[in-house]
A and B are shown apart, each in its own frame.
Chain A
Amino acid sequence: MSDTTTEQTGASHASRRSFRERVAGLPKPVKIVAWVLLAVLLYLLPIINPPILTTPDIDFGGVLLTVTLYVLVALGLNIVVGYAGLLDLGYVGFYAVGAYGVAVLTSQQASWPFLLALPVAVLAALVSGVILGAPTLRVRGDYLAIVTLGFGEIIRLIAVNSESLGAASGIPGVGTPPSIELFDVPKLVWDGGVASVNVDDTSTFLLFSVVDLIPYYWLTLTVVFLVIWADIRIKASRVGRAWEACREDEDAAELMGVPTFKFKLLAFAMGAFIGGLSGALYAGKQGFISPNSFLLLFSILFIAAVVVGGQGNRWGVIVGAVLVAYLPERFREFTEWRVLVFGIALMLLASFRPQGLLPPRRTVRARKLEERLGALQEGGDRRA
C-alpha cells in the first residue's frame, strides 16, 4: 500500500516538473536555436501585427515599446525587491532621474547628442541610488519602504519646483537616438486570418521619429536582452547568493561574513541604474517630459508588476510587467474599469497565489543536487 502511494506522489511530482525538466534537458544547440527564434519573433512582433495580440485602438508598436520599458523597470526593481528583499516604493524616482538627465542634456540648453547623454543620465540615476541608499539602508523593512516612498515624491517635487527643469510644464525637445536609415520594413495586414504585405505602411530601420515607435521598440528590446544576460550572470554569482542570504536573514548573513550593507547598496545602485536606463529611453521616445509622468502611481504599478509576476524570478517579473503594461492598452474600451479590474485581480492574486504567478524556482545547483540524490536513491532501491 505504502509503495503505491510513494509511486503515485513520485509520478505526480514528475509530471508537475516535466515542462521545466524537458526545457532544461534539451541539448544546448536546440536551446540556443529556440532562444534565437524567440528573440527574432519578438523583434518582428510589431511587423507581424498578430491579429489577437495587436491593439486595435492604438499603435501596436507604441504599446510594445511601453511594455518593454515596463519590463526593463521590473527587471531592475526585481534586483532590489526580489533578490535583496528591500521594499522600494519610490522606484519611479530613479526612472525620473534617468529621464530628466537625458531631457536636460539633450534639449535646447545643452544639446548633447542622445548617445552621450544616455550614459551620463544613467550614471546620475546610479549615483542617486547610492546617495539615497547610503543613509537609508540602515533602516529595515517598513521604514525603508516609507523612506523610499518619500524619495520618489521628492524627486518629482524638485522637478515641479525647479525652473531649470521646466517646472510643472516639463522639458520639450528631448533629443532622439541617432538614426541610420538602412532599409524599409513593410508591415503585415491581416484580413480574417490571411496575412498580406502592406507596402504603404513601412517602418524604417533605424529611423527614430515620433510617427514610428517601432525602432525605439527594437532598441529597448535589445537593452532588455542585455539586462537579462547581466541579470543571469549576477544572480548565479557570489553576489546573487549574498543577496539571497541578506533577504532571508540579514543578521545571519552578517554572521557568515557577508558585508550586508555593501551588498544592499549594490542592489540599490544596480536597480537605480536599470530604472534610470528605462527612464532615459522613455524620455528619448517621448520627446518631451513633465513631472506628471513620474507620479507615485507608477511606483505602485512597478511594484505591482514585480509582485504579480513573482518577485525574485526574472521570468516572473517579466510576465508581470507585460500584464500590467499590456492589458490596459489591449482592452482600452474598458479603460474606465481599469483600476477596478486591476484591484480585483490583485486581491484574487493575493489570496490565491501570494507568491506571484511565476515564483522563483530553486537555484539550479540545488535542483541538480536533488536530481543526483534522487538518482542515488533509485539506484539503492534497485539494488534492494
Chain B
Amino acid sequence: MLLTVEGLCVNYGRIEALRDISFEVPEGSVVTLVGANGAGKTTTLKTVSGLRGVRAGKVVFAGEDITHLPAHRRVERGVSQAPEGRGIFPGMTVRENLEMGAYVRKDRKTAAYREDTERVLTLFPRLQERIGQSAGTLSGGEQQMLAIGRGLMARPRLLLLDEPSMGLAPKLIQQIFSIVTEINQQGTTVLLVEQNAAQALKRADHAHIMETGEIVRSGTGAELAGDDAVKAAYLGGDI
C-alpha cells in the first residue's frame, strides 16, 4: 500500500473538521475523495501533504509513518500536491514555477530532469507556449495545468490533486481529467479530491464519499457511480 490513512482526526480550534477518517491508496491507482463543500476533502489532502497537523490518527506513506513530518520533508519522500485554486507563484515565469516544482531534486542538470520537463510540456502544450510569461497572467485553466505540471516536476510517487476542475469551462474539465488519467498511466499514483463527482468517479479505481468530516461510503468508482443513493445526492444536478 502506498498510502494508508488511519483514524485521522483534525480540529480547527474546537470545530472537528475530520472525524476518524481511514482509507488506503494502492500503488498505481487513482483514488478519489468526493463530497460537497466543507465535507473535509481539502483538509484530508492537507494532512496528507503535511500543511495541517492532526489531533489523532496516522498517515503512513510507503511503510513509513509520516504523521509528524513537515510538508517539505514529505516532498523529498515522494508526496507532491497541486494546491487548490491559484496555488502557483504568480510573479515567477511558467518555467520558474516548474523549476520550483523540482526544488528538492538534486539532478537538475541531468538528462532525466530535462526529460521530465519535456514530459510536462508535452502533457500541457499550453505551458510550452507560455513558458516565459509570468504565471499570474495565465488563465484559470492554464494556472491549473501549471499547478499540476509543477507537482509532477518533483517526480512524485503520489500526486495529490485538489479540485483540479474548479472554476473551469466544461471542455477544459474533460481535458484536465483525461490528463489525470494519462499521468496515472505513466505510473504516478493519484489521490484526487473533487466536487465534480461524475468525472471523478468515472476515472477512479477507488472512491470515498465524504460528508461533514466523515467517510460515509466507499467502493470502486464504477460501483459508486452506479449507486442510486450516490446518484441522488451527488450526481443529480450534474450535466
Q: Which residue numbers of A lie inside 8 Å of B, CB to CB? A: 238, 241-242, 244-245, 248-249, 251-260, 362-363, 365-366, 369-370, 372-373
- Bound form: Cα–Cα A198–B104 in Å: 62
Q: In the complex, what residues of B have CB within 8 A of residue A242's CB?
A: 103
What are 8 A-B contacts defined by CB distance under 8 Å? A244-B92, A252-B83, A255-B80, A255-B87, A256-B104, A257-B75, A362-B134, A373-B131
Q: Does B150 contact A (CB under 8 A)?
A: yes
Extra contacts, 15 of them, besides A252-B87, A257-B76 (Cβ < 8 A), are A238-B103, A241-B99, A244-B91, A245-B103, A248-B91, A249-B89, A251-B51, A251-B83, A255-B83, A257-B103, A258-B100, A260-B72, A362-B93, A366-B95, A372-B132
Instruction: Encode contact with A along B25-66: 1 for CB under 8 Å, 0 otherwise.
Output: 000000000000000000000000111000000000000000
Known: A254-B51, A373-B132. A249 touches B87 (CB 8 A): yes
Is the CB–CB distance between A257 and B96 below 8 Å?
Answer: no
Complex interface: chain B residues within 8 A of A256 (CB) = 72, 75, 100-101, 103-104, 150, 154
Q: Quick check: B70 and A258 within 8 Å, CB to CB?
A: no
CB neighbours (8 Å) of A251 from chain B are: 51, 83, 87
A-B contact count (CB 8 A): 82
A-chain residues with CB within 8 Å of residue B50 when the two chains form the complex: 254
Is residue B90 contacting chain A, with contact meaning CB distance below 8 A?
Answer: yes
Q: Does B117 contact A (CB under 8 A)?
A: no
B81 lies within 8 A of chain A by Cβ: yes
Separation of A230 and B211 alpha carbons in the complex (Å) = 54
CA distance A365 to B134 in the complex (A): 13
Give chain B nearest CB distance to A51 CB in angstroms: 43
* A255-B96 CB under 8 A given contacts A244-B91, A249-B89: no
B134 partner residues in chain A, CB cutoff 8 A: 362, 366
Q: Which residues of A contact B83 (CB under 8 A)?
A: 251-252, 255
What distance in Å separates the Cβ of B73 from its nearest Cβ neighbour in chain A? 8
- What residues of chain B lie closer than 8 Å to A366, measured between beta carbons? 92-93, 95-96, 132, 134
B72 near A257: Cβ-Cβ < 8 Å: yes
Closest to B91 in A: A248
User: A257 contacts which of B93, B99, B154 (Cβ < 8 Å)?
Assistant: B154
B104 touches A248 (CB 8 A): no
State which residues 67-112 of B face A: CB under 8 Å.
70-73, 75-76, 80-81, 83, 87-93, 95-96, 99-101, 103-104
User: A259 touching B93 by the CB < 8 A rule?
Assistant: no
Give Cα distance in the complex from A372 to B95, angstroms. Answer: 13
Contact, CB under 8 Å: A241 / B100: yes
Looking across the interface, which residue of chain A has its beta carbon closest to that of B150? A256
Q: Are the CB atoms of A255 and B132 closer together than 8 Å?
A: no
A residues near B90, Cβ cutoff 8 Å: 248-249
Determine if A258 and B132 form an interchain contact, defined as CB atoms under 8 angstroms apart: no
Name the residue on B nearest A312 (C-beta): B91
Task: For B72, list chain A residues within 8 Å (CB).
Answer: 254, 256-260
CB distance from A265 to the nearest CB of B (A): 14
| Candidates A248, A255, A372; contact of B49 at CB < 8 Å | A255
Which A residue's beta carbon lies closest to that of B154?
Answer: A257
Query: 4 closest A-B pairs (Cβ-Cβ)?
Result: A257-B75, A257-B104, A248-B89, A370-B132
Contacts of B87 in A (CB 8 A): 249, 251-252, 255
Which chain B residues border A252 with CB–CB below 8 Å? 83, 87-89
B212 → A minimal CB distance (Å): 24
B80, B91, B131: residue with the most chain A Cβ atoms closer than 10 Å: B91
- CB-CB under 8 A from B154, the residues of chain A are 256-257
List of B residues within 8 angstroms of A362 by Cβ:
93, 134
Q: Determine the chain B residues whose CB is within 8 A of the CB of A254 once the complex forms.
A: 50-51, 70-72
In the assembled complex, how far is the CB of residue A381 from the closest CB belonging to chain B, in whole angstroms?
16
* Cα separation A245 to B99 with both chains bound (whole Å): 11
Chain B nearest CB from A375 CB (Å) reads 11
The docked-state distance in angstroms from the alpha carbon of A258 to that of B103 is 7
Which residues of chain B are within 8 angstroms of A259 by Cβ–Cβ distance?
Answer: 70, 72
Closest Cβ of chain B to A252, distance in Å, is 5
Chain B contacts for A363, CB-based, 8 A: 96
